[in-house]
Amino acid sequence: MNIIVSGPAFENKNVITVGACVHYLIDPTVVDVAYKEYAEGQLYSGVGASKSVKTLEGTDKKVPSLFMTTEMKTTLFHPDYAPLVELLQTFRGFSTTLKANSPAAQRIEKAFVGLDVVLNYGVHKGLGEDGVVMKIRRFHTSAKETCFEVEKSTREFTNVFDYFKKKYGITLKYPDLFTIEAKGKQGKIHFPAEVLLLCPNQTVTNDQMINNEQADMIKMSAAQPHIRKTTTDTIVRNVGLASNNIYGFIKVEDPVNLEGMVLPKPKIAFAGNQLADLANPKSRFPTDFNRAGQYYDAKELTKWELVFVQNEEVQGLAKQLADEMVNNGMKCSNPTMSFIIRGDLEPIFKKAKAAGTQLLFFVVKSRYNYHQQIKALEQKYDVLTQEIRAETAEKVFRQPQTRLNIINKTNMKLGGLNYAIGSEAFNKPNRLIVGFVTSQRVGGNPDYPISVGFAANMLKHHQKFAGGYVYVHRDRDVFGSIIKDTLLAIFKTCTEQRGRPDDILLYFNGVSEGQFSMINEEFSARVKEACMAFQKEGTPPFRPHITIIASSKAHNERLYKSDKGRIVNLEPGTVVDHTIVSNVYTEWYHASAVARQGTAKATKFTLIFTTKAGPQAEPLWHLEQLTNDLCYDHQIVFHPVGLPVPLYIADRYSQRGAMVLAANQGPIYNEGQIDLAATNSAYGYGEKKLFTTRFNA
């Protein structure tokens, strides 16, 4: 049915289809959506609609109904069949003698890794779609420098330049330019850029966006709800998905109208049980709140350093930061000063490690781009860091909110709690809540392992979350192999900090509906194995209740609120748990946060597995309320975020893992194979004292 409904789109000459279910308009002028082009890479924007057909609960719970969901897509495309060398020439810093290890080449490389190219020389020339396709892995040494074995029996070697001249009669124009490394049947192959063309209909991935493309795409799709809905309907009609008579027997009806409910907001308590006002009419957004007192658990910072680039100290900043800490209940000593000399950061970390420094507080201008190196050295030396831009530091003197935001983060990094959440659903100290996320980022290379982030309320207070990341091979199942060992580390920390849990709630973000059975059967088994492995001789059996929930925003369902006939965003805390949910699993949609710009997208939560059955079953409203309250536990920003905090924080850890891997120039290899154990040991936080802090706050 999914394919049949797409029939008119497949036949539409003004439509190209990516995959089977995302249809883009070739001529987008029929809709009022901004068009964007980029000189570097000759990228251009396209607009279309994604679609899925699924069986859902429907209005009659006894008989499921067929639904079609559509969602507007604004995406960047690479140019079709463009000569690769011509695209390279559009990039800043490019030259025909550029070396692969130069900073300019490394920047350009990010824009091309993962792209499909077709061979365009010799017998391959002019074949287009029928030609041999290769995937770009990375840039390599030049055609003159890249040598390979031609004949094993004679041990004859040649370089790429001589090979093309002898084999094909081609004298390369750019013999001193880096070559393109691809993966072939016999291993790595290196091609001159001038003999490759880009394959058609390739969208630009987030990893390939090296300028402001991602921010631009967000702005382009960030239309207000009434505009987005109208635009989506127009695109769907023009693509051909909204016909009332598809092939004479299928009718697509108007969007369905539903009733939802808005969950109550939790109480937010600062020191002395002073409650924040979540019903303040002066607030710009209904869920924003202001500090009502000092921090609920304010920490002490006695040994810290302010770090500037040499000759770029911000005078008076130390006093501003220290005064803000004291104002929020923290105890603070004056910091010492350190300076970055000629871009060398490592001596600062070595000195701080030897001195037992609590925190290195970096203040550097954005043009230095030290962030990745700072975080990699934090991991290496196990020394806590915080970084702000020098441009932000200048605002500290005149913007109280900027000062507060900075110190909110400092207190959390040190193990504090800025406020406590008063909630019936989130008041069980013995309940361990864990989130697993992967951003699918690969540290700059598609052959690198990916980073799975995790976070759990495993510290002394059950509303404090900490975590880390684990590197795994790219696979359909990126979670299964690490669940047991990760949970064992979490169990150990939780038991040491506040006692053994008797209830475990796990959220997995980014799993597809096709993987639900794997969660139900395999992931649940790994959780039970971890519990059994943690059982210690002579102690009571460790058989906690287990609940597993999958969450995702990678769905086509877009919910709007009808306010007296106007189309507006959902109110934060809105839940829909009927009609458009699964007819097999318990499921709900939840909008937790205000859309600061554009249209909010609700997160879909699916209850996959639980050991609480029958009279012990946890009511759905309780899981919905807990999920909602967890969105308020960010602690640094004073408003709910778009995901429950264990997932929100785990996502940041996942990104940190990819960053650290890239900073270390990839994983550790053993006999030509990636050694995951060694890589995790060398580049992870599992064996660091910072593991029991929210170091990524």
The pLDDT of 203-225, averaged and rounded, is 85
Among the listed residues 659, 636, 665, the one whose alpha carbon sits nearest the alpha carbon of residue 379: 659
All CATH 3.40.50.2300 domain ranges in the chain, comma separated: 298-414
Q: Does residue 83 surpass a pLDDT of 70? A: yes
627 burial level (CB within 10 Å; 0-12, 13-18, 19+): buried
- Arithmetic mean of pLDDT, 228-245: 86
- B/e letters for 15-28, b = 16+ CB within 10 Å, e = fewer, are bbbbeebbbbbeeb
% of the chain at pLDDT higher than 90: 69
What mean pLDDT is predicted for residues 365-370? Answer: 88
pLDDT beyond 90 at 243: no
Distance CA(74)–CA(47), nearest Å, equals: 5
Place of tokens 């995901």: 643
What phi and psi values does residue 376 have, to the nearest 5 degrees?
Answer: -65, -40
Residue 537: per-residue pLDDT: 66
Q: CATH number of 427-553+604-692: 3.40.50.11540, 2.40.110.10, 3.40.50.1240, 3.30.420.10?
A: 3.30.420.10
The model's pTM:
0.89
Query: How far is Cα 554 from Cα 533, in angstroms, rounded to an integer?
Result: 34
Q: How many C-beta atoms lie closer than 10 Å to residue 97's C-beta?
A: 11
**Helix, strand and coil in the chain, % to nearest 5:** 30, 25, 40
Rounded mean pLDDT, 679-692: 95
Residue 370 near residue 289 (C-beta atoms within 8 A): no
The pLDDT, as a whole number, for residue 186 is: 65
Cα gap 371→377, rounded to integer Å: 10
8 A C-beta contact, residue 233 and residue 242: yes
What number is the average pLDDT over the span 551-575?
91
Note the pLDDT of residue 29.
83
CB 228 within 8 A of CB 218: no
Does the domain at residues 82-200 carry the CATH identifier 3.40.50.1400?
no
pLDDT in tens, 4-31: 888 888 888 899 888 778 999 988 888 8
pLDDT digits (tens, 9 = 90+) for 493-550: 999 999 999 999 999 998 888 899 999 999 999 999 999 999 876 678 899 999 999 9
Domain at 298-414, CATH class: alpha beta
Report yes or no: 290 and 268 within 8 Å, Cβ to Cβ: no
The residues of the chain that CATH labels 3.30.420.10 are: 427-553+604-692
- Pairing label, strands 22-25, 566-568: unpaired
Q: Which residue intervals of the chain bear CATH 2.170.260.10?
A: 82-200
Q: Is the pLDDT of residue 143 over 70?
A: yes
Phi, psi of 467 (to 5 degrees): 180, -150
Residue 269's CB is within 10 A of a number of other CB atoms, namely: 17
pLDDT reading at 443 higher than 60: no
Predicted local distance difference test score (pLDDT) of residue 441: 59
pLDDT above 80: residue 378: yes
